[in-house]
Structure 1
Amino acid sequence: MKYLSLFSGVEAATLAWEGLGWSAVAFCENEAFASAVLAERWPAVPNLGDINNIKEKDIKALGGLDLIVFGSPCQDLSIAGKRGGLNGLRSGLFQQAIKIIRWARKHCGLRFALWENVPGAFSSNEGQDFCQVLSQLSGSQQPMPEKWGGAGCCFGKTGLVEWATFDAQYFGVPQRRRRVFVFADFGNWEDRQPLFSDTESLRGDFEAGCEVKKEESSVTEPSADESSHHRLNVSVFDLTGFGQYGAGITASTVLARDYKGPTDLIVYHHLDNGIRSLLPVERERLQGMPDNYTRIPWRGEPAECCPDKPRIQAIGNSMAVPVMRWIGQQISTINLGSHCDCIK
């Protein structure tokens, strides 16, 4: 499998898929620190930079592609944002990805596309945005239901589109992180099972294996320098039983949104009975990344001096590696022998 990664961030997809024998043909990332992580960890893979500057000839030059993966910006879709939807400045970059997918189908024999985003995509613009996502990927206008379900499928002139919602806590990492995954198949999909056909049993299998300890709690008496955590409802996870992901502490993730910055993820440390922000390495473990994956030489300083702030932002903007690995394993079961440009 050869794939192009758009809005790459620090490239959770490649961390997940390199063990499957897949190879990234190119990345597309514009943010400075994330781009530096890509250059440090994957120096042989070119970075196309700003998605707005990619031309049709650039995609044609990549050669054969099996898949495009993209987690376009979620700020305008998230319930925590202003909800400008796909018309917003950031989330509107989805349209640039669709343009690239069309070029890749025309010139590179593209078979698949995988989109990742927040569950707010279901309700943004009263559900019209998700309808647009499905319509653009399937090649036909899709009907608008009264309410979008967390999983489903549709098809159109260009292919079959499936979607499902997965929570990272059931894939072996101690983090509650729900994401929508939309998978488009532009080839011969009629002779295969749906990619997400067995999602009902998925939660139970992973939940039993992880033994996540959860309870509702709140932080009600913070010190003066921790006032931003006052009366936040949190979900408490015991990290001690998670092997390589365990940090030996109790992590508290704010329920209202996913963590992005130092004030969004806090821990109660048993040794000093104090509240502190999670360290970057602990956040990497919550995403299923290798320890210190984002600790790189930065702005002329060695890796040991890499600041926490850009690492925390980059990790929070990324994807949960175990979820991406499972999806990759599902895609690997599909027979790639038959490609077609459209459904007759």
Structure 2
Amino acid sequence: MPITYGSVCSGIEAATEAWHPLGWSADWYAEIEPFPCAVLAHHYPETPNHGDMTRLAAMVLSGKIPAPEVLVGGTPCQAFSVAGMREGLADPRGALTIKYVELFDAIDHVRIMRGEPEAICTWENVPGVLSDKGNAFGCFLGALVGESEELQPAGGKWKDAGCVYGPTRTVAWRVLDAQYFGLAQRRRRVFVVASARAGFDPLEVLFEREGLRRDTPPRRGEGQDLAGRAPFGPALQCGCGYVFGLDLGHYGCPNCEGDDGPAVDVLAGVPAYGGHSLRGDVSQAATLTAKDTRLDIESETFCVAPSLRAQPNASHRLDSDAYVTGTLSSRASAGGGLGTDFDLAGGLQVTGTLQANGKAEGGAGVRRLTPRECEWLQGFPGDHTRIPYRGKSADECPDGPRYKAIGNSKAVFVVRWIGRRIQQQLERLA
């Protein structure tokens, strides 16, 4: 029997993209935002989307929806983000964290009544939840493990990794960064795994033996530089540790049988800038955010893209209409409302206006990553969010909702890694 799961705050469904290759099956989704709902309906029309997650606990208890084996969700992070108001559980979005636990409790109750083993949950949020002024993480942990009060961190601060054994469940958490799982994006997120199932250990899911850890940079091969370029061409490191090239269209890891999808070559060997780094190449993009059309050199990743007319022999493909070649500039002017200059590296001067299409007058432009490239950076197939929307065709799908939905989603490769490790434990218990 395939592992079944229910997904809340589903967004564009990183969990389904991650777990479908494992043979898992979604019982239901819960998403309320219009554009992600449209994406779900387009890709997964047979899986019901029940909308408001606060209604799901009652629906599970009444038997209206199944009580799945796994519950997955990333409740809204804005209440805990260092870029937001940091209102924590006082923010209605933060309060959804407790509703998540209520749903998990309801699922376990139904499963126990039916003689089935308890469920497993995996939850994701920004690292800011660990330093929330209202101890939101302690409240969340206390509710998960069955304590009547919030838990307090040892030393007055929650660490990036840990575990708690409580009256009803065991919980483990760990901050994982997508750049160490085969994605060219610096994306640190807290992942929590919890369960009351006998013999199931959340620590075995999130923690690895020394030498296989995912919170330190991978060892680089001889001759490979910081931008991910190797003597045989652009290189990437898969989540399993295998380093492979991107020449001749090789986009998969043989150790993983290629099921990690297209290796993201958007930034591997291609000079890009941004994310508080304006000098030298960046081999990982800045963390994708949910902003729509605002261009921010301080937090986003940009590429210098000479036009095809100016550089007919361009060799590094970024997208269908933009290529990068040659040496980047030592000085570039960013117009288009930014009103600021920024330093790059190299010897060719590039000037132009920040724009999305990579075609600037004068031969070069500094452009934002396209939605398709952002999808790749999250581990989705290209054009996953390019759908018919509000009476318009997929070709007319607006970029704004796509950027927002992609930025709000999870890193697919990280979720797949967690799913594999959950599955390995369940197979041992079978």
TM bucket, shorter chain: 0.7 to 0.9
The answer to whether the aligner puts 1:186 opposite 2:221 as a matched pair is no
Cα distance, 1:42 vs structure 2? 0.7
- Quote the residue 2:83 is aligned against: 80
Cα distance, 1:76 vs structure 2? 1.0
- Tell me the secondary structure at the aligned position of residue 97 of structure 1: helix
Of 134-143 and 280-289, more deviation after overlay is shown by 134-143
Counterpart pick for 1:265 among 300, 304, 318: 300
The one-letter code matched in structure 2 to 1:184 is A
**CA–CA separation in structure 1 for the residues paired with 2:215 and 2:132:** 29
Counterpart pick for 1:321 among 407, 412, 415: 412
- Quote the residue 2:164 is aligned against: 154
- Quote the residue 1:39 is aligned against: 41
The one-letter code matched in structure 2 to 1:114 is T
- Tell me the secondary structure at the aligned position of residue 174 of structure 1: coil
CA offsets 1:67-104 (integer angstroms, 9 cap, x no match): 10110000010111111012212121112211111111
Change (3 A) 1:296 1:71: same
CA offsets 1:278-328 (integer angstroms, 9 cap, x no match): 100000010010010110001111111111000010000000000000000
- Quote the residue 2:15 is aligned against: 13
- Equivalent residue runs for 1:175-214 within 5 Å: 175-189=185-199, 194-198=204-208, 200=210, 201-203=212-214, 207-208=218-219, 213=226
* Shift >6 Å, 4+ stretches: 190-193, 209-212, 336-339
The one-letter code matched in structure 1 to 2:197 is G
Indicate the RMSD between aligned Cα atoms, in angstroms. 2.7
TM-score, scaled to structure 2: 0.67
**CA–CA separation in structure 2 for the residues paired with 1:41 and 1:164:** 31
Change (3 A) 1:27 1:293: same
**CA–CA separation in structure 1 for the residues paired with 2:146 and 2:215:** 35
**CA–CA separation in structure 1 for the residues paired with 2:215 and 2:131:** 27
Say if 1:2 and 1:67, in contact at 8 Å, map to a contact too: yes
**CA–CA separation in structure 2 for the residues paired with 1:152 and 1:102:** 22
- Tell me the secondary structure at the aligned position of residue 46 of structure 1: coil
Say if 1:138 and 1:154, in contact at 8 Å, map to a contact too: yes
* Greater relative contact order (CA < 8 Å, ≥ 6 in sequence): 1
Runs of 5+ consecutive residues of structure 2 not aligned to the other structure: 237-245, 247-261, 277-285, 307-362
- Tell me the secondary structure at the aligned position of residue 98 of structure 1: helix
Change (3 A) 1:28 1:252: farther
The answer to whether the aligner puts 1:111 opposite 2:106 as a matched pair is no
**CA–CA separation in structure 1 for the residues paired with 2:18 and 2:51:** 22
**CA–CA separation in structure 2 for the residues paired with 1:251 and 1:139:** 47
Change (3 A) 1:150 1:328: same
Say if 1:253 and 1:259, in contact at 8 Å, map to a contact too: no
Change (3 A) 1:241 1:253: farther
**CA–CA separation in structure 2 for the residues paired with 1:193 and 1:298:** 42
Aligned length: 315
Change (3 A) 1:240 1:279: farther
Counterpart pick for 1:144 among 144, 153, 158: 153
Change (3 A) 1:257 1:335: closer
Runs of 5+ consecutive residues of structure 1 not aligned to the other structure: 216-238, 340-344
Change (3 A) 1:323 1:119: same
The one-letter code matched in structure 2 to 1:162 is A
Change (3 A) 1:84 1:212: farther
Of 282-291 and 244-253, more deviation after overlay is shown by 244-253
- Quote the residue 2:103 is aligned against: 100
TM-score, scaled to structure 1: 0.83
Say if 2:57 and 2:106, in contact at 8 Å, map to a contact too: no
Identical positions, percent: 37
Counterpart pick for 1:311 among 388, 402, 412: 402
**CA–CA separation in structure 2 for the residues paired with 1:134 and 1:85:** 14
Say if 1:85 and 1:125, in contact at 8 Å, map to a contact too: yes
Say if 2:290 and 2:407, in contact at 8 Å, map to a contact too: yes
Cα distance, 1:135 vs structure 2? 0.7
- Higher gyration radius (CA): 2
**CA–CA separation in structure 2 for the residues paired with 1:92 and 1:122:** 15
